[in-house]
Amino acid sequence: MTTPWPSTRTGIASTYRIGSRWRAASSSSPASQLLSDWDVVWVMELFLSRAGTAPPTGAPQQGYCTAMKTRRVTTISSVLAVAAVLVTGCTAADKPAEGGDARAGQAVQDDAPAAVPARPDAPATVAAGRTPAEIAASVSRSLFTSSPAVVVALASDPAAVTAGAEHAGRLGIPLLLDDGSSPAAAEEAARLEPASVLALGAGVPDRLGGTGAKVVTDAGELPPVAKAAPLSDTAVLVRTGRDAAGKAAAAAATATGQAAGATVVPSTGPDPRTDPAAIQALANAKPTHVVAAGSGFGTAERLAARTAVAATGVELPGGGQVVVPGRRLVAMYGHPGTAGLGVLGEQGLDASIARARTLAAPYRPLSGATPVVPAFEIITTVATEGPGPDGNYSFEAPVSLIKPWVDRAAAAGVYVVLDLQPGRTDFLTQAKRYEPLLRLPHVGLALDPEWRLKPGQKHLTQIGSVSAAEVNSVYRWLADLTARSTLPQKLLVLHQFRLDMIGDDQPLQRDRDEVALLFHMDGQGPTGSKDQTWGAVVGAAPKGVPFGWKNFYDEDQPMLTPAQTMLRKPTPVMISYQ
């Protein structure tokens, strides 16, 4: 069946696609192998002009022989004939100059001016802006010093934006957006000092008079442009837009990034660590510089840290690099080999992995879009009745005892939380003992103030407590460790069932991107009593923190089912079983 060709130049993009498919399908032909993509476009444009439309505007006057210009093209086989003429029928006078060729109405020559890229100095740049026009201008400013031509499209016209993106990407020049009111596009176009500006969309040409450039509305009127050296060490992080404005901003940033030869990385949110696709793209690119399109990405310093983590490609069980929000943990609590300290010790390592998966399974249909991840909460330092050799009333398990559980958990997709019961020592001192384990990406930390003693106190004669200052010292140390090691975010769990277990001597810190603080309610007994404790803990906690809930097999009356557990408000993001 004969392929219907577009009847006017407005169909040239689809013609190019058809031509490319034909060239690929004809790759066994020596003549077709000598045609570039844009030679195919020129052949198709020639066909259109011979089919009754006006000659292509801006058609090159040199580079194609007379025989090619006059030969009538009517079928695919005759297109192949044109290719043969291109190869064999041109005289020396008709041939393109050395190093140049003609493509889609623009001559691309070695001596044609090219855009000058701006090579960022800092690891990260936030191309901020409140509107699509401002964001597009900021991205251009971050990637280009100057350009012989610029495309400006009407931000509210999707067709103009799409066409502009195609032209900008093909020619290697920036795409700016005009919103009818902001001077951002005109000012950035003037800064780039172009000879010509392609204006697309109603009213756009009228607003570009002050750029000092020739304003055209047909891409064929643009001057020859050479491709600049690509910014191959740069990535452009583009937040995928959901509304029309977001889509326009994303299209412009994408086109300008591609024009600069940078790697364009779409991201579903402002933090690339939350997006597995963005993580893998950054890991593959390993950019030296990152430019983020829009203000939502935070400071340049925070962006640099986040993208450095993403570029490692290391993800947490359940995907991504932000522990919460992003997953729901269902954990077995206890100490390896000791059944009396919790369900984790009631069976061996392989059986514990299987049991953790079984516990997590009923929560998956209840969790919506949030993935459910099985977890171990391992009591790593155990409160003791006697003072022990060091006098601190706490048994510090050797790293060698815990590490096999940590390693097997990683292989099985199980998250691990190391729980500390410090006795008369402090949480930070004990946490540092387990730094080798905490350097692993899937390992978090839990502080259990019930077992934090003051001088002279013993376990089970009172409920322990911890100052906010001590909690903050652990928080800062863990955040620094995570940052230095370029790790995914760490979980820091703070167990509580009485308000006086955590001091109010200073506000609890939550300002570090590397650590997520979670309050875990450990009350036991009748459901009514547990709900009262839950309400008190939730009400006193800092606004916006996530919460955990613990189910006790023996002490709860009765123990809640998964469906009942998920009815707690706010919905727990960590559920432990003891």
Structural contact between residues 418 and 437, judged by C-beta atoms closer than 8 angstroms: yes
- Cα–Cα distance measured from residue 188 to residue 127, given in angstroms and rounded to the nearest whole number: 13
Side-chain half-sphere exposure of 317, counting CA atoms within 13 A:
26
Q: What is the mean pLDDT of residues 526-532?
A: 96
**Helices 349-360 and 399-412, axial angle in degrees (round to 10):** 50
pLDDT digits (tens, 9 = 90+) for 426-455: 999 999 999 999 999 999 999 999 999 999
The full DSSP string for 369-420 is TSPEEEEEEEEEEEE-SS-TTTTSSEEE--HHHHHHHHHHHHHHT-EEEEEE
- Cα–Cα distance measured from residue 58 to residue 199, given in angstroms and rounded to the nearest whole number: 16
pLDDT (0 to 100) of residue 349: 98
Residue 31, pLDDT above cutoff 60: no
pLDDT digits (tens, 9 = 90+) for 78-130: 333 333 323 333 333 333 332 333 334 344 456 899 999 998 889 999 999 99
The overall average pLDDT reported for the chain is 85
Q: Identify the three-state secondary structure at position 146.
A: strand
pLDDT digits (tens, 9 = 90+) for 172-221: 999 999 999 999 999 999 999 999 999 999 999 999 988 999 999 999 99
Cross-strand pairs, 544: none
The full DSSP string for 249-280 is HHHHHHHHHHHTTPEEEEESSS-GGG-HHHHH
pLDDT digits (tens, 9 = 90+) for 374-413: 999 999 999 999 999 999 999 999 999 999 999 999 999 9
- Cα–Cα distance measured from residue 353 to residue 309, given in angstroms and rounded to the nearest whole number: 28
Question: Side chain identity at 47, as an amino acid letter?
Answer: F
Closest CA to 248 of 155, 153, 138, 129: 155
Instruction: Encode 442-489 in three state secondary structure.
Output: CEEEEECHHHECCCCCCCCCCCCCECHHHHHHHHHHHHHHHHHCCCCC
**Helices 37-50 and 76-88, axial angle in degrees (round to 10):** 120
Distances (CA, A) of 204 to 217, 448, 568: 9, 63, 55
Q: What is the mean pLDDT of residues 524-528?
A: 95
- Cα–Cα distance measured from residue 104 to residue 12, given in angstroms and rounded to the nearest whole number: 9
pLDDT (0 to 100) of residue 99: 30
- Cα–Cα distance measured from residue 431 to residue 396, given in angstroms and rounded to the nearest whole number: 10
pLDDT digits (tens, 9 = 90+) for 332-365: 999 999 999 999 999 999 999 999 999 999 999 9
CB atoms within 10 A of CB 229: 12
Closest CA to 375 of 351, 397, 353: 353
- Cα–Cα distance measured from residue 175 to residue 258, given in angstroms and rounded to the nearest whole number: 10
Residue percentage of the chain with pLDDT more than 90? 78
H-helix segments, 311-460: 349-360, 399-412, 427-433, 435-438
- Residue with the bigger pLDDT between 102 and 537: it is 537
Structural contact between residues 172 and 211, judged by C-beta atoms closer than 8 angstroms: no
pLDDT (0 to 100) of residue 110: 61
CB atoms within 10 A of CB 270: 17
pLDDT (0 to 100) of residue 109: 54
Q: What angle do CA 228, 234, 236 make, to 5 degrees?
A: 105
Q: What is the mean pLDDT of residues 15-44?
A: 34
Question: Side chain identity at 431, as an amino acid letter?
Answer: A
CB atoms within 10 A of CB 203: 11
pLDDT (0 to 100) of residue 42: 34
Cβ neighbours for 400, distance < 8 A, ≥ 6 positions apart: none
- Strands 214-216 and 196-200, by their bridges, are parallel
pLDDT (0 to 100) of residue 387: 96
CA end-to-end span of the chain, whole Å?
71
pLDDT digits (tens, 9 = 90+) for 46-83: 333 333 333 433 333 333 333 333 333 333 333 333 33
- Residue with the bigger pLDDT between 421 and 18: it is 421
Cross-strand pairs, 153: 177, 200
